[in-house]
Chains A and B, each alone.
Chain A
Amino acid sequence: MIRLTVNGVAYEREVEPRLLLADFLRHDLGLTGTHVGCEQGVCGACTVILNGNSVRSCLCFAVQADGCEIETVEGLGSVDNLNPLQKAFQEHHALQCGFCTPGMLMTGVDLLRKYPLATDAEIREGLSGNLCRCTGYEHVVQAIRSVVAAEAENGG
């Protein structure tokens, strides 16, 4: 039996010890926004925030998340009420097929919370654990840059 909070909602579930956190979120909780791209911890599509840090949910077992607070893409903003980073992704066309996007957003959220992201090189370095095959990253960097700029304007 594990107890954890996902996007502010408390869950209690019986799980097999070998169940991956990604599969738990997707199949047991029905939160299919978190995507699985490699199950090898390389592509970053499955990135979620666990106790305030971005992690690969394909490299965690669900049992390891017992007692943890998890944030997934579903917790950011809804279709009708996108959050500022999601809006910036749309405005800058920072997604094409959208498969890597939830992971990109969760990494982006983590970067924006923790780092000044003063240069594009810093953004690119921060994103280097998330693979995208569609965008060439250009617009993703621009989207994150625009959020950094807007936050600075609003007094951060």
Chain B
Amino acid sequence: MEAEARPKIIGARVQRVEDPRLLAGQGAFIDDLNLPGTLHVAFARSDHAHARIVDIDSADAARMPGVVAVFAAADIEGLMQPIRATSRMADYHATELPVLARDKVRYVGESVVAVVAENRYLAEDAVERIVITYQALGNAIDPVAMAEPGSPLLHEDAGTNVIVSRTFMRGDVDEAMASAPIRVGDTFRMHRKTPTAMENRGYLAAYDQGRRSLTLHSTSQIPGIVRDALVEMLDLPGNRLRVVAPDVGGGFGGKGALYPEEVLVCIVARQLGRPVKWLSDRLEDLMTTNQAFDEIVEAELACDDEGHILGLRAEVIGDVGAYSIYPWTAAIEPVQVVSFMPGPYRVPSYWARARAVATSKTPTGAYRGVGRPISTFVMERLMDMAAAKLSLDPLEMRRRNMVRAEEFPYKSASGIVWDRAGFMECLDGVAAAADYQALRQQQAQARAAGRWVGIGLASYAELTGLGSRIAVAPGMPVNTGTESATIRIDSTGAVTAYFGIASHGQGLETTLAQVIAEELGVRVEDVAVIHGDSAVVAHGTGTFASRSTVLAGGAAIMSARAVREKVLEAASHLLEADVGDIDAANGRVFVKGTDRGLSFRELARGVYSEMGRLPKDVREGIELEATRMYDPYFGTTSPASHLAMVEIDPETYQVTIQRYVVAEDCGRVINPLIADGQVHGGVAQGIGAALMEEVVHDEAGQILTASLMDYVVPTAAEIPSMEVIHLETELPDNIGGFRGMGEGGTIGAPAALANAITDALAPLGININVLPITPERLFRLISKQQE
């Protein structure tokens, strides 16, 4: 078979190898793992948002049936080293990440006492008997008030509640604003949301006393980072501390940080010598899993009278909750808002400041999209506001300002370098696919009939697949810019590939197998992908920040090419032919143009098992295995444009999405099924963020949305059918040509919907500046305007 005739595996709609086990109920999620003698943990959690712990009485609990041990902060003090997320960033104040609250609680739901019992039912019974006496310390939940000097300190040792402050500047924005003919601005608010993966967090630790080694099974997106952190905290070497992420039921960033409960089960398992499991219930998930973007943004855009941007100014207050999470710090969300605010546009002058303010709420983390959902919401609203003022079509407004093909690489106003990507192609692509002009005509007819119908566009660009040159969070000491792939052909000819990433729904067992199959010349089903296990790689971090396909995919190509060379060399000896005449495809190596060949199994047998087939020097030189590291250095640019068409029901204020179209550039598509699925799922979460999902606290910091009846996530009935176009723009200097794409949908949807709803309500002159825009908020806005 000639190379050209080989089946193209990259780009094919390959069915996922993960699916049969998951469809047949044979997945192995954390709660499906059972070890004999496992103890179960339940936590007494703080019911105060901000209070001093005066007394803990757990004597009754300790005497309850089935209770094995009870731990409070004082009981674990000597069993671990404390941890805090450090950063080289100036004006950053790290906070400790307590495993159990010591002296003080800082949010409702914070773990205070851990009860360990024979089963979860008994552990929860005992938690009911624990009496914790608190002295309330006063409300600390309003981020604006907490940013003021003299406000009560959440962390006394930090000396301030503003635990991050960072300013970006380009050119003289004051001058640009002063002389601009067009200025638009507003205060925007995006309310706090939470990732809500369908599987709650859970951890199972087992300590092998004979080998003095600890294994933690964790619903983690970042088993490598967790392993490295636990090594420091528990003083065990990495070869005796293994972190495994089994099948994990979604993460969206919520499982992408080190958690107190995960440290606690390790400490307790080591202390008691028995396996210890903790599983979050949904109440705990909604109270304690790191939450998402809670920000207030004051922003202003200046344009000339043709709509060309002259300057942008933004002041961001990020309510980051009680602690600076490990390893990303509290900077990750608010600082990215200002990093990405200029979007895919030419912005000649820029000033922006982000401040992360600690409040007595659940910590915020790296939720899908990180910073970009809000930066895009704000920038795209400003673009539409300016367009409206100029009576310019929003599509044309974007065309006039978007970075053009000949300008790449383009250094954005915040310093991000956009490499060649289909910015304008996405915008034109979405307009063409949706038939934008026809939609505008439909809208005009609907409006003439008195209906509230609107069209919204949103364009953005993000930096994905970050390499070693750019930290995921500013100043963070953890390198997430490299990934390795080890590919091994064993003595049976089977191919196993080991990665440091941790797939939790992305289908990486399939896409990475596709990449390896194509490069190595085997079939997808011949490749087993092992991931999410710290023991199989020297270094790995995990799956987050739209990185795994870019980094692990790149490493897979390099490694597969190295193994292929060895395969061909071994085959040339076994088949007695010149290396140049040998090819591999479909799990066979063969002499081109002949019927002489070997299966990979026969090849492996010849290399490893059959004595005398290879001369000694060749045998010693051909181990059918390679490890390669890939570092994309800067990373990859991923742009997209979204279009939403909505109608608002004048009686219920329900927003119905009539059309939803996405054009995105993820570079070379490995599997169109999976690429579509990533966009669909991202958009659905963005729709949730735009229209319904909101974590609500009362004035005292009590969480009011502590069940899925109160925290509303979209169902199939609210999510529209979506159309997705992938533009596969070629990438310079990137081995696979893959761009990251896991987060994009969530970034574009809030902005597109805010613009569409504003457009629908244009006759009333309503600007949407708060998300989620629930029916209640719409009702209030519209009623006020109609008065």
Give residues in A with beta carbon < 8 Å to B.
Answer: 16, 18-19, 26, 31-40, 42-43, 45, 72-74, 76-80, 82, 86, 89-93, 95-102, 105, 120, 123-125, 127-141
Contact = CB atoms under 8 A, between A and B. Distances in A.
Contacts of A133: 195-198, 250, 252, 681, 684-685, 713
Contacts of B26: 33, 79
A149 B20 CA distance: 22
B526 interface: no
B707 A43 contact: no
B45 interface: no
A72 B25 contact: yes
Contacts of A92: 673
B248 A97 contact: yes
A120 to B, nearest CB: 7
- Which 6 pairs of residues, A with B, have the shortest CB-CB distance? A33-B25, A99-B249, A98-B22, A97-B505, A136-B680, A136-B684
B708 A90 contact: no
Say what secondary structure dominates the interface of chain B. loop
B31 A32 contact: yes
Interface in B397-448: none
A97 B247 CA distance: 8
B704 to A, nearest CB: 15
A131 B673 contact: no
B205 interface: no
A97 B250 contact: yes
B91 interface: no
Interface residues of B, number: 55
A141 B676 CA distance: 14
A18 B25 contact: no
Contacts of B196: 133
A131 B708 contact: yes
Interface in B229-256: 247-250, 252
Identify which of B25, B26, B248 gathers the most chain A CB atoms within 10 Å of its CB.
Answer: B25
B27 interface: yes
B362 to A, nearest CB: 18
B15 interface: yes
Contacts of A80: 20
B721 A138 contact: yes
Contacts of A99: 27, 29, 197-199, 249-250
Given A127-B715, A136-B683, A141 B23 contact: no
B24 interface: yes
A134 B677 contact: yes
Contacts of A96: 250, 505-507, 677, 681
B715 A98 contact: no
Identify which of A33, A38, A39, A76 gathers the most chain B CB atoms within 10 Å of its CB.
Answer: A38
A82 B20 contact: yes
A87 B704 CA distance: 41
Given A133-B197, A134-B677, A128 B716 contact: yes
B504 interface: yes
Identify which of B248, B504, B709, B716 gathers the most chain A CB atoms within 10 Å of its CB.
Answer: B716
